Structure 1
Amino acid sequence: MLNLINTGSSGLGLAYVDALTKAGAFVVNGDIQPPQTVAHPDHTVFVQCDVTSWEQQVEVFRVAREKSPNGRLDVVIANAGIYGPDVLDGLDDDEPQKPSIKLLDVNLVGVLYTAKLAGWHFHHDKTKDGDRCLILVSSIMGYIDTQGSSVYSAAKHGVRGVMTCLRRKGLVRVNCLAPWFIATSIMPKSFIESTGAQFRAKGVDFAITDDAVLAVARLVTDTSINGRTLGIVPRQLSPSGYMDLESDDFEEGEPLDKLQSVASSLIYGEFGASKGKGV
């Protein structure tokens, strides 16, 4: 039985939990709020967790290992995320106000905590059997410009950076998801209606939850995929609703390809880089 950790009491996370448990996986769901419904309670355990708390994430992983039917972890999905204000909001205030960084704490720091714990548990698994998979959730906004929140964009670019570094270390199989806008129950209906009209005027639409689920299933089951980002996109751009963004590597001979090749082979010595003894 495949054993997973996921943040999924609403939105896409809940869809992942439902689909994976339906397929027979055992899932530990760490989230602030419990799900309103549980489709397969015999295959799911909920642990209350604020992903910005290292201690609470440690507890989620402890429970996951303890409850795992085979005593190990196979897949970890760092799915928690929120949207928030832009760094330039409040420019008309009489005095400058310190911008909130909660969005960074949830969308990036929480992902770093999850990555560290996943790497540690994978490394300390004495069985060493089977595949181990870490999925980090970035966003299309981690790859393109936007007029939305620059803080959100910074966090999602950061998640992308976590993946592109970890893939070089050879310690975990790691990939990213980068969803376009997906109309889920956590979005206000007014936003869905107004944004959907703007999309259709441009010849695209929302991406689809079912396609995001299929992309997760692909990353979980296809052990040949490592260091890639699957974008969850409108079906006008890809009939399957997801595609490899092919944006984390460069054409052979380009300056950035040369620099990436050199940087990825450097031995950093005492400069603080991992020396291959763990994540």
Structure 2
Amino acid sequence: MPPLFYQPQEPVDCLVEVDSSALKGKTSVITGGFSGLGYAYAKAFVEAGAFVVIADIQPPPSPFKESEAVFVKCDVTIWADQLAVFEIASQLSPNGKIDVVIANAGVAGPDVLTGVFCLDDPTPQEPMMKMLDVNVKGVLYTTKLAGWYFRHHHDNPLDGCLILVSSIMGYIDTQSSAVYAAAKFSVRGLMCCLRRKGVFRVNAIAPWFIATPMMSEDFLEMIQTELRNMGLDLASIQDSVNAVLRIATDASMNGRCLAIVPRQLSPSGYMDLGLDDIDERTPAGKMQKAASSIPYNKFRHALS
């Protein structure tokens, strides 16, 4: 039986101080870096001394120096666009490598499956699947390219770090968009599968509600009022930045997801929910252990 790259472990200690200097001289690709969290990650990486390639449909509001970061126009749902991003990153990389990839691009929207207006239509209408295209298909493209470049740029591909962006909606039940929840559950599942393959280091983040341009002002006002009534706040952009920096700089981390949470729940603003491991003593745990030990790659042609 081949050794597993990932083994169940205790939740990550999220009170450890992050040393972002470990990113100095490295190269990062960030999808969806035009605004919000992606732009915040890009700024943090540049401040840490990394070279950043930002892939989005629009450039960031405040341009960086060309020696610090470049913008590449990209629709993440188009393979050729993403391929061009990674090729440019490879060509411009000061260290000749791509070291960290953040699959951050994502969109949200109304529930197109079970929303009130959808079910009140006089006839059933085909739902828009843009959320799946961006949040799943786009992430799969980014993952494929990250893995290829890690393999070709590093003597040890495990030196490559992929950070996937799920959501707290990938862990808990909500009344939000069913399509959005399905997309974020799929990103969580992608991380949990990849972590056992040993081809590169992969982790994820799962943000709680954070004030970003993705939220309308009316929705933001409503959600803040509701949360305060329950003794909770929004999570912060800076805490999400800190979580990403922690993953990018901690080479021991693999196969973990850090939830970005209100400070009432964690003094660091992020935490390991500890929900991605199964007790091996349970029936599910026994099946998990058995299934994860099967060498599927030996039979890839039969399964294709």
Structure 1 length-normalised TM: 0.94
Per-residue CA deviations over 1:177-235 (Å, capped at 9, x if unaligned) read: 10000012442222221110100001111001000000000000000000000000011
Aligned with residue 67 of structure 1, among 67, 89, 92? 92
CA contact 2:107–2:131 (8 Å) conserved in 1:
yes
State the one-letter code of the partner of 1:123.
R
| Paired residues of 1:22 and 1:40 also in contact (CA < 8 A) | no
Q: Is the 1:75–1:220 contact (alpha carbons within 8 Å) kept by the matching residues of 2?
A: yes
Report the Cα distance in structure 2 between the residues aligned to 1:2 and 1:61, rounded to whole angstroms. Answer: 15
Q: Do the aligned partners of 2:30 and 2:55 also contact (CA within 8 Å) in 1? A: yes
- Picking from 226, 230, 236, the partner of 1:208 is 236
1:52-82 deviation digits (Å, cap 9, x = unpaired): 0011000000000000001111000000010
Question: Deviations for 1:98-128, whole angstroms, at most 9, x for unmatched residues?
Answer: 0111110000110000000000111112554
**Rounded Cα–Cα distance in structure 2 between residues aligned with 1:207 and 1:41:** 32
Task: Give the Cα–Cα distance (whole angstroms) in 1 for the partners of residues 150 and 157 of structure 2.
Answer: 10
Segment of structure 1 superposing worse, 35-44 or 141-150: 35-44
| Aligned pairs (5 A) from 1:106-185 | 106-125=134-153, 127-128=155-156, 131-185=159-213
Cα distance in 1, alignment partners of residues 301 and 238 from structure 2: 41
Q: Which of residues 56, 60, 67 is equivalent to 2:81?
A: 56
Distance 1:39 1:195 in 2: 33
Query: What is the SS of the residue equivalent to 1:28?
Result: strand
Matched-pair contact (CA < 8 Å) for 1:138–1:156: yes
Tell me the amino acid that sits aligned with residue 208 of structure 2: W
Q: Which amino acid in the other structure matches residue 175 of structure 1?
A: N
**Contact 1:58–1:117 (8 Å) recurs in 2:** yes
**What is the RMSD of the two structures over their aligned residues, measured on CA atoms?**
1.6
State the shift of 1:25 in Å. Answer: 0.5
1:270 counterpart residue number: 299
CA distance in 1, matches of 2:58, 2:46: 19
Q: 1:3 aligned to 27, 37, 41, which one?
A: 27
Q: Any unmatched runs of 5+ in structure 2?
A: 1-24
Is residue 150–residue 157 contact of structure 2 (8 Å, CA) maintained in 1?
no
Greater relative contact order (Cα < 8 A, sep 6+): 2
Residue 189 (1) aligns with residue 238 (2): no
Number of residue pairs the alignment of both structures matches: 274
Question: SS of the counterpart of 1:169?
Answer: coil
Match of 1:100 in 2: 128
**Where in structure 1 are there 5+ consecutive unaligned residues?**
275-279
| Stretch moving more, 221-230 or 36-45 | 36-45
Instruction: Indicate how the Cα distance of structure 1 residues 40 and 130 shifts in structure 2: closer, same or farther if over 3 A, else same.
Output: farther
Change (3 A) 1:228 1:102: same
Match of 1:88 in 2: 114
TM-score (norm 2): 0.87
**Whole-angstrom distance in 2 between the partners of 1:51 and 1:272:** 28
Contact 1:18 1:40 in 2 (8 A): no
Name the SS of the counterpart of 2:245 in structure 1: helix
Query: Alignment partner of 2:196: what SS?
Result: helix
